[in-house]
């Protein structure tokens, strides 16, 4: 009897299964809004991956921390509950890959070209190799852009930071950065930041304009400084076992889709941020400050000690390697 019921259930499920049912499902979880460089990159990957595999692979995207918050999504990837993520490079510390926090060093990259020399070169590859014993494969670097600093009071000189509670990602380099400015850093999941700013649990934060705008942070921050003091980028990562067990032809198609989605994501990042900044200026809730040359020099001076302070954690060799590659040497 039990067999019959089971059989009937199987038959029923087969009869309602859509003819296009995919053989393989990849859950891609992330914490930002769909209308961001990362959100759009994920959509592009889905479109191309489903096209190239002719529907054999279905990509399910879960944006806005719908499935998991920052720390949980990394655990979920290792456990195989999701197959693909694109966490910011600032979030790899809890995984034991502290080297990635080097990307958070203040004023590390003069411009995007310097950044690209690092991520597309040997240093980028060597960093990905450090993920493998954690059951993770690094497949691509996606750009977001340079961060701006926001609060409810103007942030022109390091003195303006003293005593402010500022939300950061889990990176110890960001913790050292905020402390060097005299602020009190507070680690918090991205999905909780808007409310924390709104209720005054924290006074301010840092992020590129695309994240600030799509989370409506500008509605609860009176001031922002266009400091571009730090970088925010992502590593597209997958569960290693899952990826390596894919049929070789399918994996090749997915790799091709990812190469193209990466080009796309990186090509729109700056424009998305420019548009977000323009939209926030238009909204008129936040006053945006440009740093004068002297103000910028004061920030750089205050932040210089961070390099020495974190060298033991992220590796002096890693920092030197990034600086060398960034300079094009
Ligand atoms: C943050 O947590 O501030 C950002 O890294 C979120 C993201 O993924 O862009």
Q: What is the DSSP string of 144-194?
A: EEE-EEEESS---SGGGGTT-EEEE-S-HHHHHHHHHTT-EEEE--GGGHH
Over residues 198-250, the pLDDT tens digits come to: 999 999 999 999 999 999 999 999 999 999 999 999 999 999 999 999 999 99
Looking from the CA of residue 30, the nearest atom of ligand 1 is: 8
Chain Cα centroid distance, residue 277: 19
Strands 223-225 and 148-151: antiparallel
**By percentage, how much of the chain surpasses pLDDT 70?**
94
CA of 307 to the centre of ligand 1 (A): 22
CA 31 – ligand 1 centroid, Å: 7
What is the predicted pLDDT for the residue at 140? 98
Distance 323 CA to ligand 1 centre (A): 23
Q: Is 328 left (phi over 0), alpha (psi -120 to 50) or beta?
A: left
pLDDT score at 14? 46
Query: In the prediction, which pLDDT does 21 show?
Result: 66
Between CA 58 and CA 56 the distance in angstroms is: 7
What's the pLDDT score for residue 34?
98
Which ligand 1 atom minimizes the distance to the CA of 169? Answer: 2
Instruction: Give, using CA atoms, the residue closest to atom 3 of ligand 1.
Output: 190
Task: Give the pLDDT of residue 11.
Answer: 42
Q: Which domains does the chain have, with CATH numbers?
A: 2-97+110-144+232-274 (3.40.190.170), 148-230+276-326 (3.40.190.170)
> Within 13 Å, how many C-alpha atoms sit on residue 40's CB side?
19
Dihedral sign from CA coordinates of 115, 164, 209, 290: negative
Whether the predicted pLDDT of 8 surpasses 50: no
Angle at 138 (CA atoms; ends 136, 144), nearest 5 degrees: 130
Q: pLDDT at position 65, please?
A: 97
pLDDT of residue 22: 79
Per-chain mean pLDDT for the chain? 94
User: How much of the chain, in percent, has pLDDT values that exceed 90?
Assistant: 93
The reported pLDDT for the residue numbered 329 is 84
Q: What is the 32 CA–ligand 1 centroid distance (Å)?
A: 7
Q: How remote is the C-alpha of 301 from its chain's centroid?
A: 27
Convert the pLDDT of each residue in 42-71 to its tens digit.
999 999 999 999 999 999 999 999 999 999
pLDDT tier at 6 (50, 70, 90 boundaries)? very low
d(CA 45, CA 40): 9
Neighbouring C-beta atoms of residue 110, cutoff 10 Å: 10
Q: Are 73 and 88 in contact (CB under 8 A)?
A: no
Residue having the nearest C-alpha atom to atom 8 of ligand 1: 88
Q: Compute the average pLDDT of residues 305-313.
A: 98
* Probe target for ligand 1 pocket from 31, 72, 101, 214, with the most ligand atoms within 8 Å of CB: 31
- What average pLDDT score do residues 122-150 get? 97
Span from the CA of 317 to the centroid of ligand 1 (angstroms): 26
Ligand 1, atom 1: nearest CA belongs to which residue? 190
SS3 96: coil
Integer CA distances (angstroms), 301 to 164, 274, 324, in order: 19, 28, 21
Give 88 Cα–ligand 1 centroid separation in angstroms. 6
User: Which residue has a Cα nearest atom 2 of ligand 1?
Assistant: 190
Query: What is the mean pLDDT of the segment spanning 304-325?
Result: 98
Ligand 1, CB cutoff 6 Å, lining residues: 31-32, 88, 144, 169, 190, 207, 211, 232
**Nearest-atom index, ligand 1, CA of 232:** 5
Ligand 1 centroid to residue 207 C-alpha, Å: 7
Per-residue confidence band for 5, with pLDDT thresholds at 50, 70 and 90: very low
CA 37: distance to chain centroid?
A: 10
Q: pLDDT digit string (tens) for 9-43?
A: 444 444 444 445 679 999 999 999 999 999 999 99
Ligand 1 centre and the CA of 244: distance in Å? 28
Query: What is the rounded end-to-end Cα distance, in angstroms, of the chain?
Result: 73
Query: According to the model, what pLDDT value does residue 20 have?
Result: 55
Distance, CA of 12 to CA of 17 (rounded, Å) = 8
pLDDT at 187: 98
């Amino acid at each position: 009897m039990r067999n019959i019921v089971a059989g009937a259930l199987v038959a029923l499920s087969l009869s309602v299964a859509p003819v296009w049912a995919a053989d393989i499902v990849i859950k891609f979880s992330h914490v930002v809004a769909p209308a961001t460089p990362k959100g759009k990159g994920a959509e592009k990957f889905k479109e191309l991956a489903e096209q190239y595999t002719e529907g054999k692979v279905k990509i399910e995207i879960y944006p806005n921390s719908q499935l998991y918050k920052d720390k949980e999504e990394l655990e979920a990837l290792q456990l195989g509950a999701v197959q693909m993520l694109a966490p910011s490079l600032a979030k790899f510390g809890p995984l034991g890959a502290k080297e990635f926090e080097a990307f958070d060093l203040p004023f590390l990259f003069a411009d995007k070209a310097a950044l690209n020399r690092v991520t597309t070169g040997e240093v980028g590859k060597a960093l990905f190799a450090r993920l493998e014993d954690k059951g993770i494969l690094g497949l691509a670097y996606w750009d977001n852009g340079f961060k701006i600093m926001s609060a409810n009071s103007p942030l022109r000189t390091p003195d303006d930071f003293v005593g402010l509670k500022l939300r950061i990602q889990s990176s110890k380099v960001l913790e050292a950065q905020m402390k060097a400015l005299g602020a009190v850093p507070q680690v918090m999941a991205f999905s909780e930041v808007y409310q924390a700013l709104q209720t005054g649990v924290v006074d301010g934060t840092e992020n590129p304009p695309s994240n600030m705008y799509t989370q409506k942070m500008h509605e609860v921050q009176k001031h922002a400084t266009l400091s571009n003091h730090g970088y925010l980028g992502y590593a597209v990562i997958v569960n290693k076992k899952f990826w390596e067990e894919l049929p070789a032809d399918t994996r090749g198609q997915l790799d091709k889709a990812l190469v193209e989605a990466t080009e796309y994501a990186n090509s729109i990042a700056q424009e998305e941020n420019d548009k977000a900044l323009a939209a926030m200026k238009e909204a008129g809730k936040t006053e945006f400050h440009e740093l004068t040359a002297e103000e910028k020099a004061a920030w750089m001076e205050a932040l210089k000690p961070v390099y020495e302070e974190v060298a033991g954690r992220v590796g002096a060799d890693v920092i030197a390697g990034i600086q060398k590659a960034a300079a094009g040497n």
